[in-house]
Structures are given as C-alpha cells and as structure tokens.
C-alpha cells in the first residue's frame, strides 16, 4: 500500500501597504478621484454617484457623496492592509 503525503502550498502575497491617512487626505481633497488610491472600483462608482446626486440634490447630494468617498477610502485602505501578509 502506497502512502501519500500531501504537501500544503503556502501562498505569499507581496504588496505595498496603503496609508489610511493618505487615503483620507486624497478623498477629502479630491472626492471620488482621491478614492481611486484606495479602491479603483469605489472611485468609479462614487464618481458616477456624485454626478447623479449633484444633479438630483444639487449641493447636499454632492456633499453627502463626498463624505461617502472619505469613509469608503478609509475602509478600503484598512481592508487592503488586512490582506497583506507581513
């Protein structure tokens, strides 16, 4: 009878950490374009959401979307750093 010893494969992800402070600052200054630093999909989604909200509820809608960009950027940077193995 032949014994097999399955070896476990270790996967190492090498990536640079994203700064939460930089994500906050870029989203604060540039809104959806700053969000692109932390999340490309988030930046694209929030760009269109900001434009739509600006036309639906002119000033308030854009302000709400801008704050959403800041929150999304900070959370995306934190989540990206959790994936990175040190």
Are 72 and 42 contacting, i.e. CB atoms less than 8 angstroms apart?
A: yes
At residue 81 the predicted structure's pLDDT band, cuts being 50, 70 and 90, is confident
15 is written with which tokens? 């990536």
Between 43 and 2, name the one with better pLDDT.
43
Q: Give the 3-state secondary structure percentages of the chain, helix then strand then coil, rounded to 5.
A: 65, 0, 35
Are 19 and 84 contacting, i.e. CB atoms less than 8 angstroms apart?
A: no
Domain boundaries, the chain: 20-80
Q: What is the pLDDT of residues 52-63, one digit of tens each?
A: 999 999 989 989
At residue 39 the predicted structure's pLDDT band, cuts being 50, 70 and 90, is very high
pLDDT at residue 82, as a whole number? 86
Are 24 and 73 contacting, i.e. CB atoms less than 8 angstroms apart?
A: yes
pLDDT more than 90, % of the chain = 66
81 is written with which tokens? 């750093």
């Amino acid at each position: 009878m032949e014994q097999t010893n399955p070896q476990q494969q270790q996967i190492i992800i090498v990536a640079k950490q994203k700064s939460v402070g930089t994500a906050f600052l870029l989203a604060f200054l540039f809104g959806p374009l700053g969000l692109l630093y932390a999340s490309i999909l988030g930046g694209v989604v929030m760009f269109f959401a900001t434009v739509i909200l600006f036309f639906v509820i002119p000033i308030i809608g854009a302000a709400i979307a801008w704050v959403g960009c800041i929150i999304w950027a900070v959370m995306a940077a934190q989540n990206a750093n959790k994936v990175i193995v040190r």
